[in-house]
């Protein structure tokens, strides 16, 4: 790792998400969400039949969590709001749950009192179940429901919250939620419903951005963005075909969302390929929905910062065109990916440790979106447990070193870094088996005690010294 130091303006934070840590799934008027529903009705979906009913119990232990944040010395805490805790039915115009509002007001106040800035994700996957019964994100009416929710949260929390993220990893919401069916609501419709999902979601994002702009920004003076994710795709060779394949993979993963936010529309490579394949498949209109000119104008530029959740890397290689009879997102993209077996494996099948990938990705973002301010909104690694998490320390040290090199050597304007995660927590379909926390949580104990791992003191040191090694 480099022995240079992070600039003074650079901020370190750490993240969690409502369903993964809060618990209290049916307390104080909270409505059911799609993860509650999935865990309760289909327990084999999640490893060990785990669920988020209690999770880390952060709903009751938020003061203790803020104490841990204080120990780390982070500048900010990125957490998400549970839609159905605030609006139990999720529907526009439906009742607001004051106890839910109060919970987040208390958490925010506790943060502010401790000098920690709240950075709030409005939606991190826990859609109110009622909205799923209306079809979920593939239903365009969700734009209105989300707009109602966004207005409620800006109104209630916007005096203290200056950094907002509308949607966390929308790729996973749409691709895994409605494409592969590997995340709630577990709906499988690859190459079909997932495109409709994204269409709604982008309009909902733009709507929330404009609501903020028009009704809240003048007094609240904050920043609103979307929080998409991608892995880095490294061309398998320097052949033009492999380079194109890698770029196409980035566009289908990140550009699907952020090209829309930045430029108002899907990446042209997606439009061309999906239009063409849809035609070959006999569809009357493309499987990729179209934005009108007016919508393009409305969506374009709806961000105040560029965010990236990134964990890992794969090689991307060109491949023969897939038979047009196959309708799927994967064949619309049509890229082979593979990894280097020597890359260290984490406890998550999809996560190999490839520190240089993050530097390449930050450079790609900077170049592709015109040298914006960039926040790393998630980065971290899983293991199977234990307090001596030296591989996690190694991960943070090397990934942060690449962030610093991107800043100092490549001139990329990265101003924030957010570790995932504060606590071991509910890792979606993997339940509690994959641990991402800097603090261990004993899930066998109803008190859910937290214990710092070695990585917590490493990160606290980095934050205090702005340095990754002993010798800055
Ligand atoms: C996200 C992430 C987190 C995961 C983390 C490790 O959507 O922000 O999926 O919720 O826990 O990425 O997989």
pLDDT digits (tens, 9 = 90+) for 1-59: 999 999 999 999 999 999 999 999 999 999 999 999 999 999 899 999 999 999 999 99
Q: What are phi and psi of 163, to 5 degrees?
A: -120, 120
Query: Can you tell me the ipTM of this complex?
Result: 0.88
Determine the Cα–Cα distance for residues 219 and 221; give it in Å rounded to an integer: 6
Going from the Cα of 176 to the center of ligand 1, the distance in angstroms, rounded, reads: 12
Give strand pairing partners of 227. Answer: 168
The two three-digit tokens of residue 214, written as one number: 């028009």
Question: What integer pLDDT is reported at residue 177 of this predicted model?
Answer: 98
Question: What integer pLDDT is reported at residue 7 of this predicted model?
Answer: 98
Report the 10 Å Cβ neighbour count for 400: 24
What is the set of active-site residues?
A: 378
Going from the Cα of 218 to the center of ligand 1, the distance in angstroms, rounded, reads: 33
SS3 125: coil
Pocket test for ligand 1, best of 169, 230, 254, 382 (most atoms within 8 A of CB): 169
For tokens 């606590």, what's the residue?
423
SS3 324: coil
Taking residues 145-168, report their average pLDDT: 99
DSSP conformational letter for 214: I
Question: What integer pLDDT is reported at residue 224 of this predicted model?
Answer: 98
Among protein residues, the one with the nearest Cα to ligand 1's atom 10 is: 17
Among protein residues, the one with the nearest Cα to ligand 1's atom 2 is: 169
The two three-digit tokens of residue 217, written as one number: 């920004």
Q: State the closest ligand 1 atom to the C-alpha of 17, by its place in the atom list counted from 1.
A: 10
Pocket test for ligand 1, best of 16, 17, 432 (most atoms within 8 A of CB): 17
| pLDDT tens-digit series, residues 419-465 | 999 999 999 999 999 999 999 999 999 999 999 999 999 999 999 99
Determine the Cα–Cα distance for residues 406 and 400; give it in Å rounded to an integer: 10
Taking residues 91-113, report their average pLDDT: 98
Q: State the closest ligand 1 atom to the C-alpha of 348, by its place in the atom list counted from 1.
A: 13
Pocket test for ligand 1, best of 183, 353, 420 (most atoms within 8 A of CB): 420
The two three-digit tokens of residue 128, written as one number: 């109110």
Question: What integer pLDDT is reported at residue 135 of this predicted model?
Answer: 98
Among protein residues, the one with the nearest Cα to ligand 1's atom 9 is: 169
Determine the Cα–Cα distance for residues 133 and 275; give it in Å rounded to an integer: 30
Per the CB < 8 A criterion, the answer to whether 202 and 55 are in contact is no
| pLDDT tens-digit series, residues 211-230 | 999 999 999 999 999 999 99
Among protein residues, the one with the nearest Cα to ligand 1's atom 1 is: 169
DSSP conformational letter for 435: B
Per the CB < 8 A criterion, the answer to whether 138 and 200 are in contact is yes
Question: What integer pLDDT is reported at residue 14 of this predicted model?
Answer: 99
Going from the Cα of 35 to the center of ligand 1, the distance in angstroms, rounded, reads: 14
Domains and CATH numbers, the chain: 11-230+303-311+352-465 (3.20.20.80)
Give strand pairing partners of 78. Answer: 15, 119
Going from the Cα of 47 to the center of ligand 1, the distance in angstroms, rounded, reads: 16
User: Residues lining ligand 1, judged by CB closer than 6 Å?
Assistant: 17, 20, 168-169, 172, 309, 378, 420, 427, 436
Q: State the closest ligand 1 atom to the C-alpha of 425, by its place in the atom list counted from 1.
A: 11
Going from the Cα of 172 to the center of ligand 1, the distance in angstroms, rounded, reads: 9
Going from the Cα of 419 to the center of ligand 1, the distance in angstroms, rounded, reads: 11
Among protein residues, the one with the nearest Cα to ligand 1's atom 13 is: 427
Q: State the closest ligand 1 atom to the C-alpha of 420, by its place in the atom list counted from 1.
A: 5
| pLDDT tens-digit series, residues 289-331 | 999 999 999 999 999 999 999 999 999 999 999 999 999 999 9
* Share of residues in the chain with pLDDT > 70 (%): 100
Going from the Cα of 17 to the center of ligand 1, the distance in angstroms, rounded, reads: 8
Among protein residues, the one with the nearest Cα to ligand 1's atom 4 is: 427
């Amino acid at each position: 790792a480099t022995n240079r130091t992070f600039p003074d303006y650079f901020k370190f934070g750490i993240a969690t998400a409502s369903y993964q840590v809060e618990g209290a799934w049916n307390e104080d008027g909270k409505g059911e969400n799609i993860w509650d529903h999935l865990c309760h009705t289909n327990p084999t979906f999640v490893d060990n039949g785990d669920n988020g009913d209690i999770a880390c119990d952060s709903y009751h232990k938020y003061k203790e969590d803020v104490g841990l944040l204080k120990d780390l010395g982070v500048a900010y805490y990125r957490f998400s709001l549970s839609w159905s805790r605030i609006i139990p039915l999720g529907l526009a115009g439906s009742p607001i749950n004051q106890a839910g509002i109060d919970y987040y007001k208390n958490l925010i106040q506790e943060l502010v009192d401790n000098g920690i800035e709240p950075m709030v994700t409005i939606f991190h996957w826990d859609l109110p179940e009622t909205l799923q019964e209306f079809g979920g994100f593939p239903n365009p009416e969700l734009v209105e429901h989300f707009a109602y929710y966004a207005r409620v949260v800006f109104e209630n929390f916007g005096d203290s919250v200056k950094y907002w993220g509308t949607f966390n990893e929308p790729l996973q919401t749409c691709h895994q939620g409605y494409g592969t069916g590997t995340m709630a609501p577990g709906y499988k419709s690859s190459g079909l419903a997932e495109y409709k999902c994204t269409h709604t979601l982008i309009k909902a994002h733009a709507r929330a951005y404009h609501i903020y702009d028009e009704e809240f920004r003048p007094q609240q003076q904050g920043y609103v963005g979307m929080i998409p994710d991608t892995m880095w795709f490294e061309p398998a060779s320097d052949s033009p075909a492999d380079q194109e394949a890698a770029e196409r993979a980035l566009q289908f993963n990140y550009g699907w969302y952020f090209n829309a936010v930045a430029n108002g529309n899907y990446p042209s490579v997606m439009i061309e390929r999906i239009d063409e394949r849809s035609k070959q498949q006999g569809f009357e209109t493309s499987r990729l929905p179209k934005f009108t000119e007016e919508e393009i104008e409305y969506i374009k530029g709806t961000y105040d910062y560029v965010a990236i959740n990134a964990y890992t890397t794969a090689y991307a290689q060109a491949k023969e065109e897939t038979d047009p009879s196959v309708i799927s997102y994967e064949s619309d993209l049509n890229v082979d990916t593979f990894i280097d077996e020597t890359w260290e494996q984490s406890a998550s099948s999809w996560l190999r440790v490839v520190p240089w990938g993050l530097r390449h990705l930050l450079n790609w973002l900077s170049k592709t979106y015109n040298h914006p301010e960039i926040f790393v909104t998630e980065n971290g690694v899983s293991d199977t447990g234990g307090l001596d998490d030296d591989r996690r320390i190694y991960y943070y040290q090397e990934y942060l070193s690449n962030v610093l090199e991107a800043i100092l050597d490549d001139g990329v304007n990265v101003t924030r870094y957010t570790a995932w995660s504060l606590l071991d927590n509910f890792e979606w379909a993997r339940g509690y088996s994959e641990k991402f926390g800097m603090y261990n949580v004993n899930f066998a104990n109803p008190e859910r005690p937290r214990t710092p791992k070695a990585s917590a003191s490493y990160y606290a040191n980095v934050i205090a010294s702005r340095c990754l090694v002993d010798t800055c």
